[in-house]
């Protein structure tokens, strides 16, 4: 007979874009969920982290809390993103060891923790090169988290999984220019420009920029599939399906049924030119494939958010 703890998961960052969907999915799977969001306070304060993790014994802790920014303004706040996120991650690690040592800690990682490369990035390249300046502090804090999970697991006999994710999008995504990742940002901007009657669509940076993109529901599904088969490792959890920013922009225009030329403003923000994960370990072990194509996901988003 499973104990109450075996049936319960704790989600930190439960009000964020991925956190909300994760809570809904776990509940749909019949799990009890302790959802901890902003109302609990700032996890960068040790007492807040201890109180968030000290509620009741759980089987898994999903640490999805993060302070994140996108676009040009992130260049100027990398010290802040390092300070806040590194403190938060260290507090969660320490509270995990002290209060929930039976729980598996599952953490989302970012492709920005890998060095720049023109090749798909395997887990073995973690920490092997300099970080892109647009994300240097944020990525260093994620490296603290990934390395911290491994160190705590080894020293204290704990279990963890650090899943490196694709760029996600879907209903409920951020739309603010300094918080939204490019898929949601492009759709939001295109919908507004179409309404205004614009005669072209502006897309920042080089259209040949490469990313991996997953609908948020697929990304959550991938994390849960990974958790069922992997422990104590960093694992790339995407689909080996690279796409260019230009191709996504064209898919956005198709979804909105808006036929205008794409233009690139001079000096517009450019992130890392190429970020592609090699998710071969994950895909070979699980046989996982995404269910929602980019065109279907964007059309669904248009119906729900930009009718
Ligand atoms: C997951 C990862 O996500 C972030 O890094 P990023 O991958 O560079 O993400 P992004 O989605 O913001 O941009 C991807 C590319 O898309 C181009 N782009 C075009 N037009 C828009 C646009 O309208 N908005 C944005 N944001 N980008 C645009 C833009 O020029 C850039 O080259 C970090 O927060 C990092 O910390 C992190 O963890």
Q: What is the ipTM of this complex?
A: 0.96
d(CA 187, CA 165): 21
62 and 75 assigned to the same domain: yes
Answer yes or no: is 38 within a domain: yes
Distance (angstroms) between ligand 1 centre and the Cα of 183 equals 9
The dihedral through the CA atoms of 238, 239, 243, 248 has a sign that is: negative
For the chain, residues with pLDDT lower than 50 are: none
For residue 70, give every residue at least 6 positions away whose Cβ sits within 8 Å of its Cβ, in sequence order, or none. 178, 179, 180, 181, 182, 185
- pLDDT score, position 159: 98
- pLDDT score, position 111: 94
163 and 73 assigned to the same domain: yes
Mutate to test the pocket of ligand 1, among 178, 205, 243, 262 (most ligand atoms within 8 A of CB): 205
Q: Whose CA is nearest to atom 16 of ligand 1?
A: 182
Distance (angstroms) between ligand 1 centre and the Cα of 267 equals 15
87 and 207 assigned to the same domain: no
Answer yes or no: is 262 within a domain: yes
Answer yes or no: is 281 within a domain: no
Give the structural domain span for 55. 5-167+214-237
Which residues surround ligand 1 with Cβ inside 6 Å?
A: 68, 70-71, 110, 112, 135, 138, 167, 180-182, 185-186, 189, 203-205, 209, 211, 245, 269-272, 275
114 and 230 assigned to the same domain: yes
198 and 224 assigned to the same domain: no
Question: pTM for the full model?
Answer: 0.96
Q: Which of 17, 37, 21 is nearest to 29 (CA)?
A: 21
Number of structural domains (the chain) is: 2
20-61 residue pLDDT tens: 999 999 999 999 999 999 999 999 999 999 999 999 999 999
149 and 251 assigned to the same domain: no
Task: Report the CATH number at residue 249.
Answer: 3.90.25.10
**Are 63 and 92 contacting, i.e. CB atoms less than 8 angstroms apart?**
yes
22 and 152 assigned to the same domain: yes
Answer yes or no: is 282 within a domain: no
């Amino acid at each position: 007979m499973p104990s109450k703890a075996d049936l319960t998961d704790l989600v930190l960052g439960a009000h964020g874009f991925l956190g909300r969907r994760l809570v809904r999915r776990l509940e749909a799977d019949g799990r009890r969920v302790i959802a901890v969001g902003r109302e609990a306070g700032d996890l960068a304060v040790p007492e807040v982290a201890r109180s968030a993790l000290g509620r009741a014994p759980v089987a898994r802790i999903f640490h999805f809390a993060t302070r994140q920014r996108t676009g040009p303004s992130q260049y100027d706040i990398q010290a802040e993103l390092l300070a806040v996120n590194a403190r938060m991650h260290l507090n969660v690690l320490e509270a995990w060891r002290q209060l929930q040592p039976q729980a598996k800690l599952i953490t989302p990682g970012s492709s920005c923790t890998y060095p720049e490369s023109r090749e798909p990035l395997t887990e073995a390249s973690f920490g092997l090169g300099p970080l892109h300046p647009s994300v240097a502090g944020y990525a260093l804090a994620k490296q603290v988290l990934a390395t911290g999970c491994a160190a705590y697991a080894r020293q204290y006999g704990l279990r963890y999984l650090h899943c490196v994710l694709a760029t996600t999008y879907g209903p409920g995504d951020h739309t603010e220019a300094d918080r939204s990742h490019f898929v949601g940002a492009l759709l939001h901007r295109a919908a507004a420009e179409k309404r205004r009657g614009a005669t072209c669509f502006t897309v920042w940076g080089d259209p040949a920029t490469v990313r991996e993109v997953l609908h948020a529901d697929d990304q959550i599904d991938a994390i849960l599939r990974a958790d069922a088969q992997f422990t104590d490792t960093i694992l790339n959890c995407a689909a080996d399906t690279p796409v260019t920013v230009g191709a996504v922009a064209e898919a956005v225009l198709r979804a909105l049924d808006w036929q205008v030329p794409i233009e690139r403003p001079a000096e517009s923000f450019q992130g890392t030119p190429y970020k592609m994960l090699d998710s071969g370990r994950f895909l070979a072990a699980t046989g996982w494939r995404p269910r929602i194509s980019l065109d279907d996901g964007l059309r669904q988003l248009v119906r729900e958010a930009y009718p």
